[in-house]
Amino acid sequence: MKCVLNRELWPLRVRVGCLLGEARAVPGAAGSRRIPPGAGGRGLKSTGSVRPVEVTIRTYERRDAADVADVFYRSVREVALSDYTAEQVTAWVPGRWDAEQEHRRSGDGRLVLVAADESGHVVAFIDLEPDGHIDRLFCAPEAAGGGIASLLYEALETAARAQGIERLFTEASELARRFFERKGFTVLQRQDKILRGVPIHNYRMAKTVG
């Protein structure tokens, strides 16, 4: 079974508030690492401001592969530092994927929705496998916290319902766990793992939507 979309609904153009500008580290709080605004990092103060930004929610296209790979890498390496150590995020994503690697994943038949900014660059994405598994939901650091993830999720759930998928499930990071709980997901189990020799954890979560 392959996920499909009601093409009458796409693309969808919406305006959201994104935090723009620079972020500076607070001495003694987060060391010397720098995380762009919206990343939710501990010990950071933003010097940016919120302004409306138009994004287009649409299905993934092959030309998006490099942007999707970049969003995934930067989101884990920067945004995830709010809940995981530098050693853990490096074990999670040790390097960048190239566009061909990303397209093999995003183009394998799963449903992938992207949020593209005014210039056409992808700033966030979400994907859904045919069995109801949400594999990835990531925002670029500069787009995090502006409501884009919620827009992508709501669009994905609508598509899942239309496809007849009755149950959504995922393996969520700490930050994603809080997001999915707000969307009605329940934690089934904490999963403690060893990834590339480094202890790390996530959460199995699920939601009935049928």
The CATH number given to whatever domain includes residue 96 is 3.40.630
Q: Is residue 172 part of a domain?
A: no
Summarised one tens digit per residue, pLDDT across range 16-30 is 544 433 332 222 222
Domain count, the chain: 1
Q: What average pLDDT does range 135-148 have in this prediction?
A: 93
For residues 170 and 158, what is the distance between their CA atoms, to the nearest angstrom? 17
Domain that holds residue 84: 7-164
pLDDT at 183 (0 to 100): 97
Separation between Cα atoms, residue 192 and residue 173, nearest integer Å = 11
When pLDDT is cut at 50, 70 and 90, the band that residue 54 belongs to is confident
Q: Which has more confidence, 35 or 191?
A: 191
Residue 210 lies in a domain: no
Quick one: DSSP state of residue 64?
G
Residue 29 lies in a domain: yes
**Which residue has tokens 């959201």?**
16
Q: Is the pLDDT of residue 103 over 60?
A: yes
CA–CA separation, 178 and 106 (whole Å): 25
pLDDT at 132: 97
Structural contact between residues 116 and 108, judged by C-beta atoms closer than 8 angstroms = no
- Is residue 86 included in any domain, yes or no? yes
Query: What pLDDT score was predicted for residue 13?
Result: 54
Assess if residue 124 is contained within a domain. Answer: yes
Tell me if 150 is assigned to some domain: yes
Span 174-190, pLDDT tens digits: 999 999 999 999 999 99
Predicted local distance difference test score (pLDDT) of residue 145? 87
Q: In the structure, what pLDDT confidence band is assigned to residue 12 with cuts at 50, 70 and 90?
A: low
- Is the pTM higher than 0.85? The answer reads no
**Domain membership flag for residue 146:** yes
Decide if 34 is inside a domain. yes
Say if residue 11's pLDDT is above 70.
no
